[in-house]
């Protein structure tokens, strides 16, 4: 059984993960509206991945005997200056998620909840990958100035992304 501090923190993180999914769906719509269909697809896959993260925590919380307390999800932004602005916002958001996961891990360590530490390690590793992927895309977008044939090529590449839940 989880202690209440861990239960509360996991519920907060579940809500944050659902916000992340909502943010990426909003970005997908913005990109679709701006004829960046590949990047819209990339964000839609990101939306699915964030929902997976939320549900992974949801299931863990229930498995440990915790109580789920879903909260209202904040309204995400819906407009950005351009594709570079979108990915700068993604990177900033993923850095905030990393901080949040690290805080959750620190709490689990302090509370000596070894099962939760073990569970959260997957998310710590995932955040390293998330930040690296977004940083790479952002660097490429900046190299091409966020426009022209370079943007077209990057958009085509982004259209190939599909979310596949990791094997457990």
Say if residue 40 is exposed, middle or buried (CB neighbours under 10 Å; 0-12, 13-18, 19+): buried
* pLDDT tens digits along 122-151: 999 999 999 999 999 999 999 999 999 999
Q: What is the pLDDT of residue 95?
A: 98
How far is Cα 125 from Cα 59, in angstroms, rounded to an integer? 19
User: Domain boundaries in the chain?
Assistant: 4-158
Q: Mark out the alpha helices in 69-163 (DSSP H runs).
A: 83-110, 114-143, 148-158
* pLDDT tens digits along 22-62: 999 999 999 999 999 999 999 999 999 999 999 999 999 99
Report the share of the chain in percent with pLDDT over 70: 99
Specify the pTM: 0.94
Q: What is the mean pLDDT of the chain?
A: 97
Q: 97: closest CA among 54, 62, 154?
A: 54
How far is Cα 88 from Cα 91, in angstroms, rounded to an integer? 5
- Confirm or reject CATH 1.20.1260.10 for domain 4-158, answering yes or no: yes
Q: 43: closest CA among 32, 29, 26, 28?
A: 28
């Amino acid at each position: 059984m989880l202690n209440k501090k861990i239960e509360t923190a996991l519920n907060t993180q579940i809500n944050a993960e659902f916000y992340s999914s909502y943010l990426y769906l909003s970005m997908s719509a913005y990109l679709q509206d701006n004829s960046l269909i590949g990047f819209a697809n990339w964000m839609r896959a990101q939306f699915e991945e964030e929902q997976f993260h939320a549900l992974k925590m949801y299931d863990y919380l229930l498995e440990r005997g915790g109580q789920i307390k879903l909260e209202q999800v904040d309204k995400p932004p819906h407009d950005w200056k351009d594709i570079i602005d979108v990915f700068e916002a993604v990177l900033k958001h993923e850095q905030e998620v990393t901080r949040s996961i690290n805080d959750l891990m620190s709490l689990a360590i302090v509370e000596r909840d070894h099962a939760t530490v073990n569970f959260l390690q997957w998310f710590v590793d995932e955040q390293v990958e998330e930040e690296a992927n977004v940083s790479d895309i952002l660097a490429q977008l900046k190299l091409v100035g966020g426009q022209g044939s370079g943007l077209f090529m990057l958009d085509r590449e982004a259209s190939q992304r599909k979310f596949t839940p990791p094997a457990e």
